[in-house]
Amino acid sequence: MKTHRSFRFRFCRPICLAVLWVGLPRIAAADSPTGPACESEVFGRLPDQREVRRFSLDNGAGLRVQVMEYGATITGIFVPDRNRRVTNVVLGSDRFEDYLAGRVPAASVIGRFANRIAGARFTLDGTTYTLAANSGTNHIHGGPQGFAKRLWQGEALPRSEDGVVGVRFTYRSADGEEGYPGNLVVSVSLLLTPRGELQLQYAASTDRPTVVNLTNHAYFNLAGGGDVMNHELWLAAEQYTPTDASLIPTGATATVVGTPLDFLETTRLGARMDRLPPPYTGYDHNFVLGDPTPRPRLVARLRDPAGGRTMEVLTTEPGVQLYTGNHVQHRGVCLETQHYPDSPNQPAFPSCVVRPGAPFESETVFRFKVR
């Protein structure tokens, strides 16, 4: 397998999880009299009494973002609609206890490997590694104590001359954590800029060969409530990866044309959901976007026709998992940009192997507009 490609990004600062705002009517300056700002507060405490801070970012033009150190989790993206009504467009809670107890879907960073690994094991350079089996006999989302349940270290970034505010999160995953080899240092930053995009930039470096697949598991609801069945989706994917009954890819790819997975033309999420075969109760499919790219390209557009909020997705990643919140009554939809499920066991899939001296880097952009 080839080593994961390393990309050079437009920003010189360490890997970023960035949030920017585009295409929305500007709110009066009085809404944010001090301009772009970043503030922090103690959001809660872990059982061992370690503090969990939440950072609040304001771009000075009507967009606010909140993100906490536990799981590097976005707790709020507050977005106006066509009538300038502002609501949180990600599922979550304003109570830390709800996250700690797992009572709410969390827009957390997922790792060390997002999605599923068959049999909770993989072989790398002749050595087989056994992982936690937390999805039947399979491994999912980095294990029961994956990155989403770890305390990251947050650091506010200085405001740039062009008004960018942000926060950087760092986590050190020890060799053997959840069964993965190598000490891994992960950096994720969230930047809020006046330009109007939500950029997620990730990096990870290791001292031993390992596998890495990072994403954010945000459940978006652009209406701010209800279900997402009337959300409209365009997805630039002509193929997907078929799976077995346990949602493990077979290793093949297949066309979406003529199937309920065809979003090449804008379609309501609920329009063909009842045509999905068992075991699916909604969408939970990996779509093929092509080889990883040096710069993000437009791959998806999600829209709430009632309020006009629109989110475009751009990414360097080769795949996107469409998940319609099937276990939460379709109250949110995830567009998880990532490598394909079970990539460590599928030599035909784009490689997720990371080696010393060749760090993992990827970028995803969520661009919000009103139409």
Determine the distance from the C-alpha atom of residue 351 to the mean position of all C-alpha atoms in its chain, rounded to a whole number.
19
Active site residue 336: yes
Among 178, 312, 336, 361, the active-site one is 336
| Cβ atoms of 322 and 311 closer than 8 Å | no
Tell me how far CA of residue 342 lies from CA of 194, 311, 346, in angstroms: 38, 28, 6
d(CA 340, CA 347): 11
d(CA 15, CA 314): 17
Determine the distance from the C-alpha atom of residue 333 to the mean position of all C-alpha atoms in its chain, rounded to a whole number.
11
Residues 6+ apart with CB under 8 A from 348: 251
**Rounded to 5 degrees, what are φ and ψ at 311?**
-125, 120
| Cβ atoms of 11 and 182 closer than 8 Å | no
d(CA 129, CA 114): 16
Active site residue 217: yes
* Beta strand residue intervals within 176-258, DSSP E: 184-193, 197-206, 210-211, 215-216, 232-235, 239-240, 254-255
Residue 170, number of CB atoms within 10 A of its CB: 17
340-343's contacts with Cβ under 8 Å and 24+ in sequence apart are 340/115, 340/241, 340/249, 340/286, 340/288, 341/115, 341/116, 341/117, 341/241, 341/243, 341/247, 341/248, 341/249, 341/286, 342/115, 342/116, 342/117, 342/118, 342/248, 342/249, 343/211, 343/213
d(CA 40, CA 53): 6
Among 139, 141, 217, 330, the active-site one is 217
Q: 268 has which bridge partners?
A: 232
End-to-end CA distance of the chain: 44
Could you give the residue numbers annotated as active site?
A: 217, 336
